Structure 1
């Protein structure tokens, strides 16, 4: 299920954290409600609680006291297990995915900018902000207090950047510019299309549904991104633009967050099983660097300016 439903029966810290993330994210990304409303109108679902959240994603800076080494402590505490590493050479990123403690929770995908590979100018800009974080902020968090963790994930870790600094980073690394302003905001959540009703449960069918309803989709590498084995098929919207206020009062429209869609096909050895015996364990697992590389561009100006 997705976490912005009205189910208040769950009280674990992880449920509180996921609920807070999805609530703020859905408020910031109007496409979320637009898609859910269209799904209800077409009777694909009766309620948002029927949507499976395949994964959520975060972006981080690879600097002392922050980055993946810090961020992963939060979800490791809740039972998430670190899995495969991915390298994005052109974008200077490293990423990992984390398997959830129970199958009804979303997978987590965390990426990190290799700041040391940027130009001296870009490094200087980033460190001017992030060097004010002199110890790992997660180490002083009570991870058993879901509300405290939720608040942490939505609070500024460094001062608001100037528009000049943002634009300088944007010219070299659009990922760096996104993180310097948005910080740990949820980058996207992902609808599992393979668990939807017939007629909508393939990525091609769901993309057709989205396009019919006027959603703007990321076209980098093609609207549908397909893994080499053909079993992981993904698409995403173009990031919603937000009016961002920078230090000094400058206001500039920048990329916020977006929505992703994933179809995980049944693995060959399980394709003869009846539908009621197919779960996550029988479908294509993990991620694909080639797909993810293009999905990152949902926030890039090549997409938002189309």
Structure 2
């Protein structure tokens, strides 16, 4: 994908890890408050066998225009020790993405959640606005305020738009060309989705297939694009996501319509072949498949569908 020219990461200093964890906690609370179905699944996962959860990644969507793109989110996390890894292009969607690996932090035995568990990877994508039609570019640009991208992470934590709420006419017009762009226009920098680290579960949910059966029995809709269980080419990364619910939104012109909200994902990273003989209790995160898979990621995008399931 080429260099994104991101700044060098710094290491933790003083109490900054606590601050970073608090920011994640607030991003999570906002996401759960805005997405009732995701919240229900999140609560169910924890309730089964008192499961202690860890997160694989948090994902954000941005607009590459006037400082609102990937850098608007990545700069904050890189200031707290995150490191740029690799990028993925999605040419048909006019989107590119990257992921950031978390800094090394001490995780106590049994540490979990955002309080004292492993820090999640951060996945950020951006819509290449300058590749859209002039009409779509005009819609996006008329809402964005100068320097507003600097408030991206604060916006995510608060769940508030940086710009004024759009009209339904603008939202609908943009959605015809870019559902991705329309989603960001109405939801802003609210976290697009989180992913549980299935391989860190201890009990009934330690296999993603068991989670699939459980959620289907509970009546949740799962993203079936490319199969419900999306498997990387090497077979070592397995992902599954819910279908985002559609929630009523009141637009600036008084129209109320349902639009896709966020969804929730489950990610299982299998042990790399060279470590397959390690005793289970010795296996660490670095013994497992890292990175992401372009084909899987492209299918996961379809979880926030604008059209009805057939």
> After TM superposition, is the score higher than 0.5?
yes
RMSD after superposition: 2.2
What SS is found at the alignment partner of 2:216? helix
Aligned position for 1:126: 140
Q: Is the 8 A contact 1:20 1:150 kept in 2?
A: no
Q: Are 2:162 and 1:157 aligned?
A: yes
Matched residue count: 284
Matches of 1:14 and 1:114 in 2, distance apart? 29
Aligned position for 1:226: 231
Aligned position for 1:268: 273
Deviation at 1:153, TM superposition (A): 5.5
Q: Is the 8 A contact 1:236 1:259 kept in 2?
A: yes
Equivalent of 2:75 in 53, 73, 76: 73
Aligned position for 2:11: none
Matches of 1:189 and 1:243 in 2, distance apart? 22
Aligned position for 2:86: 84
Matches of 1:41 and 1:206 in 2, distance apart? 13
Q: Are 2:289 and 1:284 aligned?
A: yes
Matches of 1:74 and 1:84 in 2, distance apart? 18
Q: Give the TM-score normalised by structure 1.
A: 0.86
Q: Are 2:250 and 1:245 aligned?
A: yes
Aligned position for 1:27: 33
Q: 1:288 to 1:295 in 2, by over 3 A?
A: same
Q: Is the 8 A contact 2:38 2:262 kept in 1?
A: no
Aligned position for 1:183: 188
Deviation at 1:77, TM superposition (A): 1.1
Matches of 1:20 and 1:190 in 2, distance apart? 16
Q: Is the 8 A contact 1:255 1:299 kept in 2?
A: yes
Matches of 1:194 and 1:151 in 2, distance apart? 27
What SS is found at the alignment partner of 1:214? coil
Unaligned residue ranges in structure 2 (runs of 5+): 1-15, 106-117
